[in-house]
Homo-oligomer: A and B are copies of this chain.
Amino acid sequence: MTPSVFNLLASLPAARDGEVTQLLLTGKGVRFERIVSLGQASPEGFWYDQEEAELVIVLAGRARLTIAGESQDRALGPGDAVFLPVRCRHRVAWTDPNHPTVWLALLIDPKLKPSASRAMDER
């Protein structure tokens, strides 16, 4: 098996008509995706409420994430990573309509006992 190389910021799919999710890597209980947004947000009243833990990273662009129970959205830009434990309800409040927002998402099944390390709290 030969190595694969891919530039995550190049050859972006057109996302004007809808967010585009591409699977990059998969394993039993593990999914690693690239998501490209261009102005999309979660529908009014919709919350992600996932069975998996998720680490989401903004590679490029700007977005706002709402986390249930928090009074203010989280404004995210390049390099920002958010660890969302299993069933941590959240929604995408806004993504930049003028420039693509490129996200990486690592989703891990609770059977694998995902947990963020303490480094993730040392902002």
Question: A residues near B, CB below 8 A?
Answer: 1-11, 22-30, 32, 34, 53, 55, 57, 59-60, 67, 74, 78-85, 88, 90, 104, 106, 108, 111-117, 119-123
- In the complex, what residues of B have CB within 8 A of residue A104's CB? 57
18 pairs, A vs B, C-beta closer than 8 Å: A2-B88, A4-B83, A5-B123, A6-B83, A6-B121, A6-B123, A10-B123, A11-B122, A22-B119, A24-B55, A24-B120, A25-B55, A25-B106, A27-B108, A27-B114, A28-B113, A30-B108, A59-B79
A28 and B79 in contact, given A57-B8, A121-B4, A122-B6 (Cβ under 8 angstroms): no
- Residue with the highest number of chain B CB atoms closer than 10 Å, among A84, A88, A90, A117: A117
